[in-house]
Structure 1
Amino acid sequence: MPLSASSSAQQARQALADRLAELCRDAGLTGKDLAERCGWSRSKSSRIMNARTPPSAEDIRAWCEACGAVEQTAHLVASLRTAEGMWVSWRRMERDGLRHAQEARLPLYRRTLRFRAYSSWLMPGMIQTQPYTTAALRAIQKRRGLVVDDVAEAVTARMERQRVLYEGRRRFAFLIEESVLRNGIGGAQVMAGQLAHLASIASLPHVSMGVVPMAPDRERWPAEGFWIYDAAQVNVELISGYLTITQPGEVAMYAEAFAELAALAVYGSSARALIAAATGALGAHDSFVEGES
């Protein structure tokens, strides 16, 4: 598993390594003894015990057998899968296409009651229009060179996921950078429809919609996009992959960052004015293009 900057992922790896080292000690074995029983180099057992190299599932099975603790195998392999899942590369997540990645998150959305989303790149998926989602996922497919073309199915899955916006007693707080209103995803017509939809979503009583204005003297700079699910989990979309954070201290850091960005945002009529200005700029762009032609 690639080493993540997140301490959640690293702590999960360290906890697994500590447990494997404990099994070794309980069996009265040294790292050298265990390596000999498993047919490994001594450095391999040392790297695993010190969390420098993550074990494979087969490594864990061999380790437990060597320590006479076969009954621990299933639990430790499950711990390995949990640690691996805290940081997933886009290539791995999307190897079977985009639809699966969309569907995999639905259970998390269904069990969450309070959503907080911040986006500095794109409109949050929960409030995207179908044409906007199609343009965004088509761009992702092209940029990442995905062989499987299931964009239409992935769009359907995302639209299905949006139903939680209108179900139950959930609360949503969306923060977007003003630049997101002006990014030309899908062209002027798609953006015009998306901006109209954004204004409509902002009128829902259980939704808070904030726009962080562009300014030369900001107190808190833009960050990577992230979602906070209740107070239990944060997901961060990085250029290289998808990060899941569950450590309470780290979740609290993202909640604090969200609060700081929310304090910079404008809401209500002020947010609608920024949306209207972005919509007007689309018309000016069309006029410019027509004049050039």
Structure 2
Amino acid sequence: MSSPSRAVDQAKHALRARLREMRLAAHLTGRDLANLAGWHSSKVSRIEHGRQTPSEHDITIWCRHCGAEDQAGDLVASLRTIDEMYVEWRRMQRTGLQRLQKAAIPLYERTSRFRIYEPSLIPGLFQTADYALSLMRAVVTFREIPDDTAEAVKVRMQRQQVLTSGGRRCAVILEEAALRTRIGDTEVMAGQLGHLLAVATRSNISLGIIPIRDRAMWPTNGFWIFDEERVLVETLSAELTVTQPHEIALYAKAFAQFAELAVYGPAARTLIASAIAALDM
């Protein structure tokens, strides 16, 4: 899969290409379009070559003068998607982690089907308070942001209630490495893995684990699919939001392939029990 920054660049390129194709279909030169729009003569060239990002108003005017007003709404939506796609963690976390946890609640509450893939961590919806606290403290230290971890953990625990109401379903695929990545001390990990065993018995939750020996796909970042609405991908520096249907379909395809590699039921529980036993080594 593309890196988040590359995905954003590709989306920007696609938008510029559509604008250029529209201008050419209208048999307008860049200077012609600029004159019609009342812009500086070089503005069209700057937009088409990525040296200037068009505003929503620019796109509306562009479509009007190219005789394609019916496409303006779709292109403006594409621009908004690009704006959403790449959000720097430092900006999102500048006041700590609690605000970030609260901001996600509406998305969780309107989602009826979660599909989650995590290669190295237990997902937030299945974390114990101690595991979440250890993880968030590490994030706070690394990012040098205000420490509101206790409050953020409370919000994360409250957010988990979405899985006990509204008939929501959740399919989770973990790499075996997620069971063995030490977050906190031995007691924290033992409690977390025991909790994972318990929540996996719920009828609305499907837990699959990809054994290390069966890894057949290339490594990728963890991602969450919220219905067919969007995909969130967390990286070291940013959160990528994917809303284009064809890109969501790509992540859904990857999730389906990961699901085929995973083991379930007794086999998954055996892997978790093995990880718990390894904590004493």
Query: Given the two structures, how large is their TM-score scaled by the length of structure 2?
Result: 0.81
Q: Which runs of 4+ in 1 moved over 3 A?
A: 9-23, 31-34, 49-53, 60-65, 75-82
Structure 1 residue 247 corresponds to structure 2 residue 244: yes
Distance apart, 1:18 and its partner CA: 5.7
Q: Which residue of 1 aligns with 2:124?
A: 125
Deviation larger for 237-246 or 128-137: 237-246
The aligned counterpart of 1:212 is: 210
Stretches of structure 2 that go unaligned for 5 or more consecutive residues are none
Question: Mind listing any 5+ residue stretches in structure 1 that lack a counterpart?
Answer: 285-293
Aligned counterparts, 1:1-293, within 5 A: 4-6=5-7, 10-11=10-11, 14-15=14-15, 30=31, 42=42, 46-55=45-54, 80-146=79-145, 148-215=146-213, 218-284=215-281
Question: Does the residue aligned with 1:211 lie in a helix, a strand or coil?
Answer: strand
CA deviation vs aligned residue, 1:48-75 (integer Å, no higher than 9, x gap): 24434325x6xx679989xx99xx9xx8
Letter in 2 for 1:229: F
Query: Matched residue of 2:239: which SS?
Result: strand
Is 88-97 or 176-185 further displaced after alignment?
88-97
Q: Which moved more, 1:14-23 or 1:131-140?
A: 14-23
Are the equivalent residues in 2 in contact too, given 1:16–1:79 (CA < 8 A)?
A: no
Change over 3 Å in CA distance of 1:32–1:205 after alignment to 2: closer
* Identity within the alignment, %: 45
* Secondary structure of the corresponding residue to residue 30 of structure 1: helix
1:239 is paired with a residue whose SS is coil
Kindly state the Cα deviation for residue 82 of structure 1 after the two structures are TM-superposed: 3.8
TM-score (norm 1): 0.78
Query: What SS is found at the alignment partner of 2:207?
Result: strand
Deviations 1:12-59 (CA, angstroms, capped at 9, x unpaired):
675489669979x9x99838957xx77x793x652224434325x6xx
Aligned CA-pair RMSD: 3.6
Alignment coverage as a number of residue pairs: 272
| Equivalent residue, structure 2, for 1:289 | none
Q: Quickly say closer, same or farther: Cα 1:237–1:63, change in 2 above 3 A.
A: closer
Deviations 1:218-254 (A, max 9, x none): 3223321001111231111122211111222221111
**3-state secondary structure, aligned to 2:87:** strand
